[in-house]
Amino acid sequence: MKVRVSLAVALCLVCCTHALAVDIETVPVGNPGNADDTQVMSDGTTGYGRVDYEYDIGKYEVTAGQYTDFLNAVAATDTYGLYSSSMWSGWSGEYGCGIQRSGFSGSYTYSVPDANYVNRPVTFVSWGDAARFCNWLENGQPTGTQDLTTTEDGSYYLNGAMTNAELLAVTRHQRDGIWALPTEDEWYKAAYHKNDGATGNYFDYPTTNNSTPSNELINPDPGNNATYCAFDGEFTYTIDSPYWRTEFGAHENSESPYGTFDQGGNVYEWNEAILSGSGMRGGSFDSHWGELAARARVSWYTPSNHYLTVGFRVAEVPEPVTLTLLAFGGAAVLVRRRGVGR
């Protein structure tokens, strides 16, 4: 596993003492050229999980604390609606992720008053919000207004895209898309592939298991557990109000074969398949065990909306020149640009 810290943040840590980095802890996903999973999905499609290159993916879902740091960096004036009031008030007074906004436009500040929310996943984020977070990481975590140097370009050219139609037209840059939302294949491989070489072997659940996970929160975790809603004559949540979602890594022995946590349950996670009609994987604290399974493919969410059960994780992928060289059996030493003007 490793922690990627941007060059801009590294310099800041050397030169000042008051700034804190948003550190995205990632795990490597190897076995390039693995075969697709031949299992038929719930929507009748098949052939997911093949990735022809090595990449890194977030070990955990992006947390409310990390997203709050992002808001404080770029949303003093929240031009493109990166904050939803539901993050604080939730839905019908429940299910918020604990982020509060104070002040007035031009001087907004954000906080998580209840520290118990800090390490739980952020929710009520749209696909566009998640893409803008990736751009911010790619640009070196700058502070400033929401423009082409902070949130509107980087891994994705958004430039004010807000509507479903505008967001559906967005693509990952084919120049230096480093921090990004995982493609569906990248997400699927990290969750289910058995990490046993360039094979087509996959588990049914992202807890390194073919058996249905339990939804218990036990210390120590016995393994094969996830945060979801079970039903045995009555609905039973892993945890109840007010938090609903578990803190990252709470099921400490229930990781995927590559070492990710909560790719099943806690919150659904955006991926790039939204651009072709799906875009959601993994189930949530409010879904049943079947939606944690590899065959579950969700397509009823739209990219501009904010949902109480939806969050995201990020991936770090090779630059296209790397992919081209790999395809031809070559190699290269690259300097990955962070915070460089485009």
The per-residue pLDDT for range 260-313, each reduced to its tens digit, is: 999 999 999 999 988 666 678 999 999 988 889 999 987 778 899 999 999 999
Structure-token match 């751009």, residue found: 135
Looking at per-residue confidence, does 9 or 91 come out higher? 91
Average pLDDT, the chain: 86
The model's pTM: 0.87
Count of C-beta atoms within a 10 Å radius of residue 247: 19
Asked if residue 164 lies in contact with residue 304, where contact means CB atoms within 8 angstroms, the answer is yes
The residues with which 202 forms a beta bridge, in sequence order, are 193
What are the structure tokens assigned to 336, written together? 């990955």
Task: Tell me if residue 248 falls in helix, strand or coil.
Answer: coil
Count of C-beta atoms within a 10 Å radius of residue 152: 22
> What's the mean pLDDT in 82-106?
95
Nearby residues of 182 by Cβ (< 8 Å), 6 or more positions away: 57, 190, 271, 272, 313, 314, 315
> What's the mean pLDDT in 42-51?
93
The residues with which 225 forms a beta bridge, in sequence order, are 214
Asked if residue 151 lies in contact with residue 136, where contact means CB atoms within 8 angstroms, the answer is yes
Nearby residues of 90 by Cβ (< 8 Å), 6 or more positions away: 96, 308
Q: What is residue 275's predicted lDDT score, i.e. its pLDDT?
A: 63
Closest C-alpha among 2, 30, 4 to residue 258:
30
The residues with which 179 forms a beta bridge, in sequence order, are 316
The per-residue pLDDT for range 124-153, each reduced to its tens digit, is: 999 999 999 999 999 999 999 999 999 999
Percent of the chain scoring above 90 in pLDDT: 75
Nearby residues of 129 by Cβ (< 8 Å), 6 or more positions away: 81, 82, 306
Asked if residue 128 lies in contact with residue 116, where contact means CB atoms within 8 angstroms, the answer is no
What are the structure tokens assigned to 126, written together? 């749209």
Asked if residue 90 lies in contact with residue 307, where contact means CB atoms within 8 angstroms, the answer is no
The per-residue pLDDT for range 147-169, each reduced to its tens digit, is: 999 999 999 999 999 999 999 99
